Chains A and B, each alone.
Chain A
Amino acid sequence: MKGELYLAWRYLAYHRVKTLILTTSITLIIFLPVGLRVLVRQSQEQLTARAEATPLLVGARGSPLELVLNSLYFESDVPATMSFGEVRRIESTGYALPIPVYVRFAARGHPIVGTTLDYFDFRRLRIAEGTNLRMLGDAVLGARVAEELGVGPGESVISSPESVFDIAGTYPLSMRVVGVLEYSGSPDDEAIFVDLKTTWVIEGIVHGHQELSGSGAAGLILTSDTANVVANAAVVQYQEITADNLGSFHFHGDQSTYPITAVIAVPPDQRSESLLRGRFESPDELLQIVPPVDVMDELLETVLTVEAFVIAVVVVVGLSTLATAVLVFMLSLRLRRREIDTMRKIGAARRSIGAVMASEVAAVLVVGVALAAILTGLTSRFGSDIIRSLL
């Protein structure tokens, strides 16, 4: 058998382009449907797990999917905002612990999530390095963010402007990194967490600037009365919050009207959940309350339907490719008739000639299947990363 295997190997090595094409075809025939299946299953599990772990989500009326994708996965467009006062409204019902989230800004491609310390307890996020948020301007990085940016406690990250062409828009804010989270295998790894108020600083509705009440600021003031002071553009706005300038940061207007994108509502029991949902069922209600799992189930149902179609197409294409591969093999047998005759004339056993041909087919199949298995393994291993990058 050693001789037959050697001849098969020499044949495949000599016809390496043909071998490569056949092997690749076999690999793709197997990998495409299986890999897609693995990817869809993983995304299904991942999306469902996150959604199942989040009982209720409250947000402004609009697309529930956009709300869920933004608040749970920090993806999608920014949904319509709701006011921070709604957090108090939910809290006052006593039916749930409200955790506000404001996901609008980003720093170097990573979403900035403004929230409260309750979020870390709710998601069971643990600090791997440094400390948790302590003051305005602090940032805690998800594990992957720290890894990708190469930033750790003591360094800083700067928020990205929403539009470089909007000169009246938000200024970048330099945020101190005080901690890095442990790896959680969830979208939290990709996020930068700051206190809710810090996101409002980025937005510009909470700000700190040069003191205007002293005599040194006289040249900066355009008009002033008992309620307001209007200064010119020479006033220095702080783009970094430090212990020295922290006191100068202040709110304008009613804090309860400040924007947030959603509230994660964590009811203690089923009854509270039902009662809370009842509070938001009114047709006049400007907010929506959704169980994220329902929204994701609906999305996955669509995904699974699409997957079934794609797999059906891939299987048909795969079978056609397989048929072509068989045809190529049959044709090559005809082309090798003379070679087979020569071996037979010299004294090859029919079994040996068959073994050479079978070994060639088996080698292509084995390598094709092995590559497909490796690719499937890699898909399985890095599926979550792929899914996150696709979301």
Chain B
Amino acid sequence: MIEVQDLDFRYAEGDFVLRVPQLAIERGSTVAMVGPSGCGKTTLLNLVAGITSPGGGVITTNDVEVTALTDQARRDFRIRNIGLVFQEFELLEYLNVLDNILLPYRINSALELASDVRDRAQRLAQDVGIADKLDRHPDKLSQGEKQRVAVCRALLTEPVLLLADEPTGNLDPGNKGRVLDILFDYAERSGATLVTVTHDLDLVDRFSRVVDFRQFHPQDA
């Protein structure tokens, strides 16, 4: 599903360097990426998603060499294949819950917002228990509800790869479990790959594989 080969990345400013000689993640697996803050977990997610480009190396995601794609092709690939969940939810304050879930279909012409997509959005909202809040704006939701909206947005495109960056970082224990349940259920039902960055070592037992990032951090090497 994901193959990283000889990856080399550094930011234009600062001395941060991420080197990943080789990493392979199987299709349908659930992977927890762990490691201290600043070791490159989020950076690798962004590279795999094609949000940022590496200085060198090859990243293949779902049999597509992401590092060889143009900017536009990467965006189209990402919106069709990858669902992203962020720690800070990243909901748009001026959109209600339904519009936030439908956002991917409004910002890229590669996707067409048809009536079945709306139905799917409502079903997802029903599944995660926010169907009665579709017309509310994010400022009227609890933290757990916000993250469930963000998860619905990530799942709406029926991605084959779910990349979650500390999705439970801002949630209470009850909501942590609930959000993870939703992500795991989806991965299991659809056969999608789930890659999650987490600092919460209590949760890593649920994943089929744990990748410790200290192995890629040059300072620790």
Compute how far the CA of A345 lies from the CA of B80 in the bound complex, rounded to whole angstroms: 13
Contact with B107, one of A3, A11, A14, A338 (Cβ below 8 angstroms): A3
Is B72 a contact partner of A349 (Cβ separation < 8 A)?
Answer: yes
Q: Which residues of B contact A343 (CB under 8 A)?
A: 103, 107
Consensus secondary structure, chain A interface: helix
Give the number of residues in A that approach B within 8 Å (Cβ atoms).
23
Is A339 a contact partner of B92 (Cβ separation < 8 A)?
Answer: yes
Compute how far the CA of A345 lies from the CA of B93 in the bound complex, rounded to whole angstroms: 17
Q: A14-B93, A14-B94, A339-B92 are in contact. Are A346 and B109 (CB under 8 A)?
A: no
* A348 sits at the interface (CB 8 A): yes
How many Å from the CB of B151 to the closest CB on chain A?
A: 13
Is B94 a contact partner of A3 (Cβ separation < 8 A)?
Answer: no
Compute how far the CA of A339 lies from the CA of B92 in the bound complex, rounded to whole angstroms: 6
Q: Which residues of B contact A342 (CB under 8 A)?
A: 86, 90, 92
Give the number of residues in B that approach A within 8 Å (Cβ atoms).
30
Q: Which residues of B contact A346 (CB under 8 A)?
A: 78-79, 84, 103-104, 107, 153
B126-174, CB < 8 A from A: 137, 153
* B106 sits at the interface (CB 8 A): yes
Number of A-B contacts (CB under 8 A): 69
**Chain A residue at minimal CB-CB distance from B103:** A346
Compute how far the CA of A203 lies from the CA of B75 in the bound complex, rounded to whole angstroms: 89
- Of A338, A346, A352, chain B has the most CB atoms within 10 Å of the CB of A346
How many Å from the CB of B85 to the closest CB on chain A?
A: 11
Q: A3-B113, A14-B137, A342-B86 are in contact. Are A348 and B94 (CB under 8 A)?
A: no
Compute how far the CA of A4 lies from the CA of B109 in the bound complex, rounded to whole angstroms: 10
Q: A347-B76, A349-B72 are in contact. Are A338 and B106 (CB under 8 A)?
A: no
Q: Which residues of B contact A10 (CB under 8 A)?
A: 94-95, 99
Is B106 a contact partner of A347 (Cβ separation < 8 A)?
Answer: no
Mark B92-133 against chain A: 1 for CB-CB distance below 8 A, else 0. Answer: 111100010001111111100100000000000000000000
Is A344 a contact partner of B95 (Cβ separation < 8 A)?
Answer: no
Compute how far the CA of A7 lies from the CA of B80 in the bound complex, rounded to whole angstroms: 20
Q: Which residues of B contact A14 (CB under 8 A)?
A: 93-95, 137
Is A6 a contact partner of B75 (Cβ separation < 8 A)?
Answer: no
Is B109 a contact partner of A352 (Cβ separation < 8 A)?
Answer: yes
Mark A1-23 against chain B: 1 for CB-CB distance below 8 A, else 0. Answer: 00110110011011100000000
Q: A3-B113, A10-B99, A343-B103 are in contact. Are A349 and B108 (CB under 8 A)?
A: yes
**Chain B residue at minimal CB-CB distance from A13:** B94
Q: A3-B113, A4-B107, A353-B107 are in contact. Are A347 and B79 (CB under 8 A)?
A: yes
The 6 closest A-B pairs by CB, nearest first: A347-B79, A3-B106, A14-B94, A348-B107, A342-B90, A347-B78
Task: Provide 29 A-B residue pairs closer than 8 Å at the C-beta atoms, listed in order of the A residue.
Answer: A3-B106, A3-B109, A4-B106, A7-B106, A7-B107, A10-B94, A10-B95, A10-B99, A14-B93, A14-B94, A343-B103, A343-B107, A344-B51, A346-B84, A346-B103, A347-B76, A347-B78, A347-B79, A347-B104, A347-B108, A347-B110, A348-B75, A348-B107, A348-B108, A349-B108, A350-B71, A352-B107, A352-B109, A353-B107
Q: Which residues of B contact A (CB under 8 A)?
A: 46, 49, 51, 71-72, 75-76, 78-80, 82, 84, 86, 90, 92-95, 99, 103-110, 113, 137, 153
